[in-house]
């Protein structure tokens, strides 16, 4: 069966810094049934949904799993690989999408990526300011508690 091209999901993001070195993270969650089969997380980097662009068979893991305080998306000085999505299509399967996350000074680095950027070039690494990154995780987690 031929592989479908990645679907393009975009989110509005704040203006980026002029040097282009720092990306912006935006997190959203699918509400689950009636919209789709289960609750899952969307991870937008500079307005592009990373999971779908990396592998359109995948869906982000549950927000409660990824976003909980001290959870897997929180950066540490020691680099680690974090599962952010699991295969859902054509049916749930063993494949996982992982991201290498590391804190270096005031910068959170995601590496071992491979998704098409807005210009079609492969994105292999992105960097976030620690303040924006942690603030977005906390905002998204707080939004879950309101559901």
Q: What is the pLDDT of residue 36?
A: 61
Taking only the tens of pLDDT, the chain with its 147 residues reads 343 333 334 444 333 333 447 999 999 987 666 556 567 899 999 999 999 999 989 999 999 899 999 999 999 999 999 999 999 888 777 899 999 999 999 999 999 999 999 899 999 999 999 999 999 999 999 988 755
Sheet containing 58-60: order of strands: 58-60, 80-87, 96-104, 107-111, 126-129
How far is it, in rounded angstroms, from Cα 77 to Cα 102? 6
């Amino acid at each position: 069966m031929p592989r479908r091209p990645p679907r393009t999901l975009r989110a509005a993001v704040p203006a980026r810094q002029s040097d282009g070195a720092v990306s912006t993270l935006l997190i959203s969650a699918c509400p689950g049934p009636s919209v789709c089969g289960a609750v899952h997380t969307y991870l937008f980097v500079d307005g592009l949904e990373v999971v779908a662009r990396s592998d359109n068979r995948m869906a982000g893991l549950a927000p409660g799993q990824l976003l909980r305080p001290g959870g897997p998306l929180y950066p540490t000085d020691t680099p680690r690989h974090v599962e952010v999505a699991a295969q859902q299509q054509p049916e749930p399967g063993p494949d996982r999408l992982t991201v290498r996350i590391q804190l270096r000074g005031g910068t959170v680095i995601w590496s071992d990526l491979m998704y098409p950027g807005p210009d079609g070039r492969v994105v292999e690494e992105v960097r976030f300011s620690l303040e924006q990154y942690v603030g977005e995780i906390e905002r998204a987690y707080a939004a879950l508690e309101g559901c």
